């Protein structure tokens, strides 16, 4: 198991995971940014092969507290990738139609097709996080969803989907600084909601809920990676490394032409 990956069946105590950690990285911030740029270029090339080969499906799940860096991760790690083969889905409050179905109905509809990479900015895990913390459904309902989610992800994996789940771990002081920065910058006011302050009061409840998520839904086919995310540059570096390593492990190749191109000349 990689150091930041949650081993299936282990207990998780987030207070023992340092959001300021930078692992075994020995260089400077500038070194990290340079490596991330190189990895982004490699990711771009690998995604092109993924799209061309049309054999694998990649699902990337990003979860975090407010200001945890989901949007920033998408901007920096996936910059320059061909949008033809990449899709970002953000799950908002369910619509009336979605509420008429089971909670995984809208999730399944958004999962990747062959050759596609899909990024979930928040996900089905809101249905064991928000609904629990705000007591929207009884405990027996959200508790049953852990097993349901594991079965759902096992089904996706068995049908060719590689699942990578990242929990972006910041601490409460870092969240305070990021929220204040949004207040201080008028161009960021659109990202600030007074409701963010009410959610902040529930920090401890969310930490307990996330610990359960990480413990109960990190599986061999869909493991969680805890990403120390106080340092944005390290967050991006770590995620880029995992993505490039994972795509390389698929041993993808460009497909052969279905036509005989010998002697063909463009005039």
Q: Which pLDDT band holds residue 1 (cuts at 50, 70, 90)?
A: low
What's the whole-number average pLDDT of the chain? 95
pLDDT (average), residues 236-242: 96
Asked if the model's pLDDT at residue 24 lies above 90, the reply is no
CA 142 to the chain's CA centroid: 21
Asked if the model's pLDDT at residue 66 lies above 80, the reply is yes
- Tell me the pLDDT tens digit for each residue of 101-133: 999 999 999 999 999 999 999 999 999 999 999
Supply 224's token pair: 């969680």
Distances in Å between the alpha carbon of 28 and those of 1, 3, 25, 31? 26, 21, 8, 5
- Tell me the pLDDT tens digit for each residue of 125-141: 999 999 999 999 999 99
How many angstroms separate the CA atoms of 211 and 164, rounded?
18
Q: Which pLDDT band holds residue 46 (cuts at 50, 70, 90)?
A: very high
The domain over range 27-248 is classified in CATH as 3.40.50.300: yes
How many angstroms separate the CA atoms of 129 and 123, rounded?
10
Supply 229's token pair: 């995310």
Asked if the model's pLDDT at residue 267 lies above 90, the reply is no
Supply 74's token pair: 């998408």
- Tell me the pLDDT tens digit for each residue of 170-209: 999 999 999 999 999 999 999 999 999 999 999 999 999 9
Place of tokens 């959001």: 19
- E-assigned strand segments in 141-260: 161-169, 224-228
pLDDT of 118: 97
């Amino acid at each position: 198991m990689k150091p930041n990956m949650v081993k299936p069946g282990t207990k998780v105590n987030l207070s023992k995971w340092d959001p300021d950690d930078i692992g075994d990285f020995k260089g400077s911030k500038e070194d990290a940014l340079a490596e991330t740029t190189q990895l982004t270029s490699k990711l771009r090339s690998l995604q092109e092969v993924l799209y061309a080969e049309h054999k694998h499906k990649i699902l990337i799940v990003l979860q975090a507290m407010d200001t945890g860096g989901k949007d920033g991760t998408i901007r920096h790690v996936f910059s320059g990738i061909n949008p033809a083969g990449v899709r970002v889905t953000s799950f908002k409050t369910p619509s009336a139609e979605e509420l008429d179905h089971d909670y995984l109905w809208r999730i399944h509809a958004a999962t990747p097709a062959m050759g596609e990479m899909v990024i979930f900015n928040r996900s089905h895990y809101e249905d064991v996080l928000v609904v629990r913390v705000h007591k929207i459904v009884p405990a027996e309902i959200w508790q049953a969803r852990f097993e349901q989610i594991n079965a759902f992800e096992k089904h996706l994996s068995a049908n060719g989907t590689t699942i990578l789940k990242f929990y972006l771990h910041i601490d409460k002081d870092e969240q305070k600084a990021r929220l204040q920065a949004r207040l201080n910058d008028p161009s960021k006011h659109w990202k600030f909601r007074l409701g963010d302050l009410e959610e902040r009061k529930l920090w401890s409840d969310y930490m307990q809920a996330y610990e359960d998520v990480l413990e109960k839904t990190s599986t061999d086919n869909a493991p969680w990676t805890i990403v120390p995310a106080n340092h944005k540059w390290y967050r991006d570096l770590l995620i880029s490394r995992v993505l490039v390593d994972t795509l390389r492990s698929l041993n993808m190749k460009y497909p052969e032409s279905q036509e005989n191109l010998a002697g063909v000349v463009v005039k």
